[in-house]
Structure 1
Amino acid sequence: MNNRDLLRLESLTQQKLLPQEELKHHISGKQQLTIGIIGSDPKEENRISLTPQGCELLIKNGNVVRMLTKAGKGASFDDVDYSEYGVDICSSLDEVFECQILVKMTPLDISEVQYLKKGQIIFSPLQLFLQSKDLIQKLQKKRVTCISFEYLQNDYNEYPIAQILSELSGMLAIQVATNYLSNDCKGRGVFLGGITGISPAEVVILGASTASEYAARSASAMGATVKVFDDSVNRLRDMNTKIGGYLSTSIFYPQALAKAFKSADVVIGALPKNSPLDLFIPEETMRILKQGAVVIDLNMMQGGCFEGSELRSMHNPSYVKNGLVYYCVRDITTRVSRSASIALSNVLTSVLLGLSNSPSIANHIRYNIGFAEGVYIYNGVLTNQDVGQHLGLDYKGLDLLFPLL
């Protein structure tokens, strides 16, 4: 239990809202979890939600972990890597779906919902803007509890899974841009960095997010000229303070954006999570870009931010439209599936250990604020306002189900 939650428990006890006996039970309670690792379609997703080392920690803490055979292959983890740490390797999906907890790197497919049982808990990305109303309603009918990777918070009100993957996304965006500017990918043959006697390439980044920061840091380190646009002066100031040097920033003034686009070699869309800015760059503005410029949309799971963006698979991630090279996938970190899996597993293992040290899922939701933020369906009840409003579904806040939240 973290300091923030302990302070909250102490406050509730002092107000006589929480009996001392219940507080003692919460601190000392523990449950054995059965955790099932479900693989994803290898054509779309190569990452795995838990690594063998993460499973080892969970098993040593008294939990049981099962995995469908070859689920870790895309991240270069073999079945034996898991089995030697005590993971039960299953040949049938039915065996994995018998587990109390299910973890997956992508949202459940509608075809998988039939395997679910009342009371099960699913950890996966929500991918709100790619989500379907039909899937959410089917999950509700199954009376399961769903926890979103994107909404889980830590002690510092941060989103650890979203943040670690955003850091990786930003760095990978520059790596992808470098590849697609080169002749090897039929690009313009432009070097992203700067060398003596040659002007450096120009990178324009839309949004001052975590992904933007790491993209700007990587591009600046190579010697590129970087321009970042956002609607918040505070976010721009923070980024300038962190990076400094070769970075220039601006509010989204149309004339300033048009001027930057005219000379840009690379444009990256990376708006912050839950950004109030409704940014959508129309085709008319995109025509300002020079032929062969590379456009990378890191906001595809939020609906994208360029009119020309089209969601593609990792096996066919790019396309040319009006002379521009677009790169638009669900999650660019799939390109480095092993590293991304390790980064994700480090966070998710800690979350699952915390859950196993609580007497029940209800107890854990009630007394762990950051964990509660990740819940979007509880026992079939939709509890997330964003999901409800986006899909036009009725929702009920967790504070109504758990009055002490």
Structure 2
Amino acid sequence: MSVVIPRISPVGLGCIRRPSLSCATSLTRRRLNTSSGSRKPVAFAFDIDGVLKQGSHVLPQAKRTLAVLSGQNKLSQKFPFICLTNGGGSIEATRAQRLTRELGVEIGEGQVVQSHTIFRGLVPQFEDKPVLVIGGFKDHCRKVAQHYGFKHVYIPEDVLHWQASVWPFQKLTEKEVAYAKADVDFSEISFAAILVFHDSFNWGRDVQLICDVLSSSQGVLGTSKLTSEWESSPQLPVHFSNPDLLWGNEFSQPRFGQGAFQESVAAVWKRTYNKDLIGTTGGKPTSHTYKYASSLLSHHVRSLSKPHTHSSSESLHEAVVKSDAGPIEGNVYMLGDNPASDIAGANAFGWESILVRTGVFRGDVKDAEHRPTIVKDDVWVSLSVPRASEGENEGQELTPMAFACILNRKG
């Protein structure tokens, strides 16, 4: 399945128009009055940073919440959920194992969607072509790209090993030399695309390299486009995995994310070559990321009811890439801390949106550009699932209507 990633604005990252207060109120009422007669199950999508964790610190409310959703309740009822994050830098299986250790519940790779997960859909286009991968720690994103199926993956350290003067402000350490590819002559490599898998750890170097490749003749470093190429050849594809301007960690104020890096690339490109950067972007709040997540949730629901739906050699992600399972039946609740990312994407895709104050957003809902279905202090308060599993709906499944009623209760 190929992934169509929407074009980004050369200056901004684009946004979904803010609804009026009356429109937002009407939308909320319509969502919270779902018919209980449908008896359709509910499902959940959790952002990680700012919702389940604050940097390396795991929120205790998150552990309690996921324990209940994983079946640790009086009804022993499991609710389908995924972790939908604009983070990345490792394969989904590795991230799932780490989350399992941190959160104390079993989380499979089919329950994790990272910002670069959708790059799996780009493999058919670039599988046998050289790509420059930007971002992440050491060569981890190279390994992720290779895991997805890209065969010719290069990273900035490879380029500096070839020619240190490309970015003279960094001298490779022994550890960096150890994982950099040696004996690669980049004067003979024609890059087909640039893939920004994760946040850049060296903005200056990576902005320089991206501009070098985009301004080169046929993607060959050290060359310059001919006048005829500027006029007739399309810009080399550059894919950013997410548009987050800000993200939250342990620090008291939000930190700049990949969206800020993207703005920097666009500004330097414009100032240097008087051209608008033509790029594409994925991650939240883009519709194709939510479509991928919805399809993954559908497969996850099937795997819960029929454990042997997929062969042992086929992951849920492979199933999604091969076949879109379509939207999940029933309500999906997106729990996030970023109005411009989690809430905007969920609202546009038709999911319920719950904004928590443990991450980027800690103000009043009136200040939010994108209005959520509801605002709560943290993930545990926002769900209040134990009330449903400790007698109030005993013997019944948690329907969208019952869940919505629980959400509206105070305390």
Give the structure-2-normalised TM-score. Answer: 0.32
Give the structure-1-normalised TM-score. Answer: 0.32
Which structure has more relative contact order (CA 8 Å, sep 6+)? It is: 2
